[in-house]
Chain A
Amino acid sequence: MLAVVSVAHQAWFKIIIKFLMFNWFQYLGRSALLVFQRLGRAHLFLLRVLAAIPSLFAHFGLLVAEIYSVGVLSMLIIVVAGLSVGMVLGLQMYNTLVDFGAESTLGPVVALSLVRELGPVIAALLFAGRAGSALTAEIGLMKATEQLSGMEMMAVDPIKRIIAPRFVAGIISMPLLAAMFSAVGIWGGYFVGVGLLGVDDGAFWAQMQAKVDLYDDVLNGVIKSIIFGVAITWVAVFEGYDAVPTTEGVSRATTHTVVYASLIVLALDFILTALMFGEM
């Protein structure tokens, strides 16, 4: 009797395991397919946007308006954050360097940290949070309220009229904002180091001038910020354009933009840093 029960249990156990594994594999397969479908759509979308960029020469005013919306309106948050980061950096570095009597190198330490890493990365994260989310929400709501459909039916391509100007504006704005972040951050470090803690003024700037290289440091930082700009703006405009046209869909797309863009920026930063500054 016991043996019969045991066999029956084993049979049920096998069925449950098979059921769970089948469902799990099915779920995994479906999820993978959806991810690849979405990636495919995102790349086709990017090709359409790139093809639409030449049309901006005929609508230059649209690009200027979007640079104002995406870039100029992000300046305040960038300046405030850059100043805070620069001041904290100046304070922390001074406390460490002064133990070794090397506080005169505060200038290059602050400048290199900002120009190579913190400027492009933090500016990109802030840009994703402010401008990226705004782009997604705006485009998603235009889709939900049938404005994009309306435009299509009026024989105006939304990719040319709405998406391309925002995409290019993001790419132009991002390096400028990152440069602004670094410049204000250096000034913040100067204010704390020289103004408050008594580091020599001349040493601060002279060391910085001697140690920071235009190509290796500044240009690489600019290249990083341009690549971050492409990634963030691509994610933002695609998420908006591909959003489910409901309140919940737009909300989810906006969250996706901030999360995906931030993670992509951090991942790209590691790759770019390894390529630019690594000695692997």
Chain B
Amino acid sequence: MTTMNDNLVEVRGLKFHFAQRVIFDGVDMNFQRGKVTTIMGPSGTGKTTLLRLIGGQLKPNQGSVMVDGLSVPELSHNELYGLRKRIGMMFQSGALFTGVSVFDNVAFPLREHTDLSETMIRDLVLMKLQAVGLRGARNLMPAELSGGMARRIALARAVAMDPMMIMYDEPFTGQDPITVGVIMKLIRTINDSLGLTSIIVSHDVQEVSAISDYLYMISNGKVVGEGTPGELGDSNSRWVQQFMKGEPDGPVPFHYPAEEIERDFF
């Protein structure tokens, strides 16, 4: 386990619910500085919700979320926006601004938060685009990009302000194998070369196992498994094994809850 001082993000006793539906029921997690940590779990378990709780877009019903020593739910509007300047996020859809070019998308946070000259901004944007291999796409509009390119542009925008941490929401979903390979390489390389802390939310077991330092598995509002990819691979937990091996039935049942089959057919 990690020590307290090594953790950039600490989640303690987190409880959160939407209306009557419990999303998190007492979750504890640590996200170590400089490491790539992944949260895995089936669709609908609240992985993206966890990122929104860390980013302060949602507030927990109970428990704490600490980022770099700051209690996120207790921050004022200005303090929260100050913290967010040090956090990058790559959304599942890319969330690029559709009305402006690739260049202007990446330049957006720089223009909003710095007083840099346009010449300096141009150089910084081209450097970020070069890092994701899309310097040549600077003049394209988001509608002209493939899904993989859009995510790489979103990644370039996320690192534009040189953040201390990046959160990735389902970075591999719906991508072809080459794009998945490119994004995997970028996440790991950018994390290590810029000294970032990365949090990935995903259910792509093979991909995240290859690039993550630590994994959490969540289901039914609780952490059901955690460890390095090797430790989870060797886990005795039936739930972890079912998820890691993609078995269709197990602790997560194949059938949606229903009344006795005899009552439907006889």
Contacts and interface: CB of A to CB of B under 8 A. Distances in A.
B98 A153 contact: no
A147 B97 contact: yes
Contacts of B98: 145, 147
Nearest to B87: A153
A179 to B, nearest CB: 29
Nearest to B160: A154
B91 A150 contact: yes
A153 B55 contact: yes
B95 A149 contact: yes
Given A153-B55, A153-B89, A154-B108, A146 B81 contact: no
Nearest to A146: B95
Contacts of A152: 57, 84
B82 interface: yes
B81 A150 contact: no
B93 interface: yes
Interface in B52-97: 55, 57, 81-82, 84-85, 87, 89, 91-93, 95-97
A219 interface: no
B48 to A, nearest CB: 10
A101 to B, nearest CB: 59
Interface string A153-189: 1111100010000000000000000000000000000
Given A152-B57, A153-B57, A146 B82 contact: no
Contacts of A157: 81
A152 B109 CA distance: 11
A155 B95 contact: no
Interface in A128-157: 145-147, 149-150, 152-157
Contacts of A155: 81-82, 84-85, 109, 112-113
B84 A154 contact: yes
A150 B113 contact: no
Contacts of B82: 155
A145 B105 CA distance: 15
Contacts of B161: 154
Contact of A153 (B84, B96, B112, B113): B84
Given A152-B84, A153-B84, A155-B84, A146 B57 contact: no
Nearest to A145: B93
B105 to A, nearest CB: 10
Interface string B29-68: 0000000000000000000000000010100000000000
A150 B112 contact: no
A154 B57 contact: no
Given A154-B109, A155-B113, A156-B109, A147 B81 contact: no
A252 B236 CA distance: 50
Contacts of A149: 57, 91, 95
Interface string B84-127: 11010101110111100000000011001100000000000000
19 contacts: A145-B95, A146-B91, A146-B92, A146-B93, A146-B95, A147-B97, A150-B91, A150-B97, A152-B57, A152-B84, A153-B55, A153-B87, A154-B157, A155-B84, A156-B108, A156-B109, A156-B112, A157-B81, A161-B112
Interface of A: 145-147, 149-150, 152-157, 161
